[in-house]
Amino acid sequence: MKLLLISNSTNYKEPYLGWCQPLIAEFLQGTADEILFVPYAGVDVGGKVYPESYDSYTARVRSVFEKFGKKVVSVHEVSDPVAAVNNAKFIMVGGGNTFHLVAELHRNKLIKPIRRKVMEGTPYMGWSAGSNVACPTLCTTNDMPIVMPESFDCLDLVPFQINPHYIDPYPEEINDRIRHGGETRQVRLNEYLAVNKQITVVGLREGTALWIENERITLKGTRNMIVLRYGQEPEEIVPGSVFGYDIAPVNV
């Protein structure tokens, strides 16, 4: 398999997919000229009538990938999404609302076809929700459940859970009047681990990504990744580290 799982599409005051464009360009080398895009996580709240939001989302993504000489075709533009997946040479899933994305993947019967294609070697790229759905379930998303999917089951391309946009607790020096006094991201993920003790969760901070080839994972970007396991202290992994599906270091 060949996957690029990106935490976030945009850093503050940067263009869309700006921070990760060098990484994307490297990942695209030697791949097909046409990319099949899944826009189902996009729910436009700017006044467009749903599902026309898919059109605007796809147009935004096209404007980026045309710079790489790639043609982007969206599954919402084709008459048979399953056939489109079966014939795809490269699959890309955008970010947005994970619940909506998973609901639409199930409704269009795309979970099994996408998983089969990627397991057979079709490159896969996702960011935010598109990274979350590469996991066994959507249970470590940060998103509000705006719809109820048929199932929480996702593509199960990796055996661990990803929490995109992982945010560290506020530092102590922040003014108490503006500090959030409730649960941190780590506390919420520990709640998940309390009832899913066998699962490992990786928190991808902004500006990071997982490059996966044949069960060999490299942390890309400029920030550490946090690893959470039930009953264990959190572990920090530095950029450039290479590890396996068990999140244990491998020989380079």
Q: What is the DSSP string of 45-88?
A: -SSPPTTTHHHHHHHHHHHHHGGGT-EEEEGGGSS-HHHHHHH-
Rg (the chain; Cα; Å): 18
User: Helices then strands (H, E): number in the chain?
Assistant: 7, 12
Whether 180 is a known active-site residue: answer no
Catalytic pick from 7, 9, 74, 128?
A: 128
What letter represents residue 63's amino acid?
S
Catalytic pick from 165, 168, 176, 180?
A: 165
Tell me whether strands 225-228 and 201-204 are parallel, antiparallel or unpaired.
Answer: antiparallel
Q: What is the dihedral of CA 66, 68, 74, 79, to 10 degrees?
A: 90
Encode 132-151: b = buried (16+ Cβ within 10 Å), e = exposed: bbbbbbbbbbebeeeeebee
**Which phi and psi angles does 211 have, rounded to 5°?**
-100, 120
Catalytic pick from 106, 143, 176, 180?
A: 143
Task: Record the tokens describing residue 182, joined without a space.
Answer: 């409730």
What is the side-by-side order of every strand in the sheet holding 225-228? 161-164, 201-204, 225-228, 235-237
Whether 128 is a known active-site residue: answer yes
Whether 176 is a known active-site residue: answer no
Q: How far apart are CA 79 and CA 127, in angstroms?
A: 25
Q: How far apart are CA 162 and CA 226, in angstroms?
A: 10
Would you please indicate which residues are annotated as catalytic (active-site) residues? 128, 143, 165
